[in-house]
Amino acid sequence: MTGDGLQEKAIDQWTREIPVVAERGKFYDRNGRVLVDNYDTYTVYARANAISSKEETAKVLSKVFDLEYNSFLEKIKKSTVSEITVARQISEERINDLLSSEIKGVYYARDNARFYEYGDFLSQVLGFTSIDGNGLTGLELYYNKYLKGENGEILTETDIVGKEINGKNSYIPATNGLNVMLTIDYEVQLILEDVLSRAIKEKDAKTAEVIVMDPNTGEILGMCMKPSFSLNEVPRDDAEKLNAESRNLLISDVYEPGSTFKIITVAANLEEHLKGNKNAYSPNHIFNSSRYRYIDGQKVKCWSDHKNGKHSNLDIGGGLNNSCNPIFVDMAMALGKEKMYEYITKFNFGSVTGIDFVGESQGMLLPVSSVQNVDLARIGFGQTIAVTPLQLVSATAAAINGGNYYAPYLAKAVYSNDNKLVEKRVPTLKNKVISEESSKILNQMLLDVVTSGSGNKAYIEGYGVAGKTGTAQKYENGVIATGKYVSSFIGYFPYDNPKYLALVIVDEPKGQYYGSTVAAPYAKEIFERIIEVKNIKPFV
């Protein structure tokens, strides 16, 4: 062993350390409202060699901290380590009880515990920490390296048997963690929490989920899932419940988007038409009104029975209004799998978006080499492809904001308590997916869907709400699950200069299950309440 090594060993043998715990950084919303804070707790230690009476010490500590006397006595008698952790996250009241006992060889150090200001609020996004104060899930985990800070310590010099030498102490201060300002808007999030709590009860649904995004930047303004739990009462003793309710379904899970994906098919077709691709359809093309298409001998049908010629003489806009599947089959087949996949890739399906969150799924996308004609036909109207809700929101934002795909993100800035900026996030343009002209045409079509089509239950006079409904059947063990649907609506306002984009998903609602009757009304309420709280005047 080198001289330096011997010196380090000697220092370790002749000193004892009590940690000085760093204060974990706070979370703020985009407007500076505290979302996650800390409160003081204490950790209690016992130093066996400094205890005068182990029996008396065990008696006092077992009473103050609700410990089992005999097992704790055995622990301090047989301990081979310098410090024993007696109890953690102890209140000041119990520390006062400890001090009043005046026993020797027992110490305490200030610690801190997490306090989530609004409990059951943004639960699956914020995540939670371990008892040691390290991030375990969500943003607590993703930004842990900034939040955790660096602990200090109190060094106490001892003699050879571990007893303190009075007055021989030194102090190394802790470095507190950094704060994180989120893109989340507290006022928007509060609306989502309230609406979804009611939606899951009213529809007796398995889950209800929503994302609200600024489509011009990729900033997530609100993200909510129900059921959830209070972050101040994490159900750590129920692993199944904790796993189910702490998982961020909007980022980590996939589903068949159904008709909401038709926005992407139309965007690809319009862009190719404007580029002069003769296989693409013009906006005014009138499609075959048959409710069926036969692809390689397989029948692909529309959800509607077409009674009374409801779907006859439809152009692309009419196809969106009535969500007529065969029209989207025609567009996908006309473009071909290579061209269709070119746009699917541009819109970032089959890849992670890169959001600042652990555990993002890349979705499920068949390799283009294995895509059969019937697969391509179904992809055109949102089947045979599985996406995350975040992927769909980000892709739709690009389709309706002029064609710019921005990476979604949840945190705007990281900074110290003295407001020194450490890291700042700005909108990141990943690529251009379609032209402004294509986007403009698409916006008008999606406005019509809400004004006079299947999305009419999201209509708000004067605000130019646009969007698309979706109803997708669910699969279990590779076959369609009878009576199980995912109802959704993706919408935004105003249509010609989008400010707020929302995707609402209700999974397995009881009774009615169409996106137009289940999800669209909740989207309308969310938009109406945003309009009210933000005092947004009519646009049109």
Diameter over CA atoms, the chain: 97
For residue 471, the SS3 value is strand
Q: Which residue has the tokens 């130093």?
A: 47
The pLDDT, as a whole number, for residue 284 is 96
The pLDDT, as a whole number, for residue 313 is 85
Beta strand residue intervals within 47-105, DSSP E: 84-90
Distance CA 255, CA 384 (A): 10
The pLDDT, as a whole number, for residue 6 is 35
For residue 203, the SS3 value is coil
Distance CA 116, CA 36 (A): 5
Active-site residue (options: 82, 123, 246, 259): 259
Phi-psi region of 403 (alpha: psi -120 to 50; beta: other; left: phi over 0): left
- CATH 3.40.50.261 for domain 186-231+239-415+428-533: no
Cα end-to-end span (Å), the chain: 81
What are the angstrom distances between the C-alpha of 211 and each of 43, 93, 289, 367, 520? 40, 43, 35, 28, 14
| 412: nearest Cα among 251, 222, 220, 248 | 220
Kindly give the confidence (pLDDT) of every residue in the chain, 540 residues in length, as a single tens digit, with 9 standing for 90 and above.
444 443 343 334 334 566 788 999 999 999 999 999 999 888 888 887 778 888 888 898 989 999 998 988 888 887 766 678 888 888 888 888 888 888 888 888 778 889 999 999 999 999 999 988 899 999 999 999 999 999 888 776 654 444 555 655 677 888 999 999 999 999 999 999 999 999 999 999 999 999 999 999 999 999 999 999 999 999 988 888 888 889 999 999 999 999 999 999 999 999 999 999 999 999 999 998 888 899 998 988 887 654 545 567 899 999 999 999 999 999 999 999 999 999 999 999 999 999 999 999 999 999 999 999 999 999 999 999 999 999 999 999 999 999 999 999 999 999 999 999 999 999 999 999 999 999 999 999 999 999 999 999 999 999 999 999 999 888 777 777 888 999 999 999 999 999 999 999 999 999 999 999 999 999 999 999 999 999 999 987
Domain ranges for the chain: 18-154+171-182, 186-231+239-415+428-533
Distance CA 129, CA 139 (A): 10
Backbone angles phi, psi at 336, to 5 degrees: 85, 160
The pLDDT, as a whole number, for residue 5 is 45
CATH superfamily of this structure's domain 18-154+171-182: Penicillin-binding protein 2a (Domain 2) (3.90.1310.10)
What are the angstrom distances between the C-alpha of 53 and each of 80, 341, 438, 441? 17, 76, 82, 84
Q: Which amino acid is at 307?
A: K
What are the angstrom distances between the C-alpha of 415 and each of 179, 279, 359, 426? 5, 53, 25, 15
Is the bond leading into 227 cis (omega within 30 degrees of zero)?
yes
Is the bond leading into 521 cis (omega within 30 degrees of zero)?
no
Distance CA 197, CA 120 (A): 11
Q: Are 274 and 262 in contact (CB under 8 A)?
A: no
Instruction: Respond yes or no: is residue 416 known to be catalytic.
Output: no
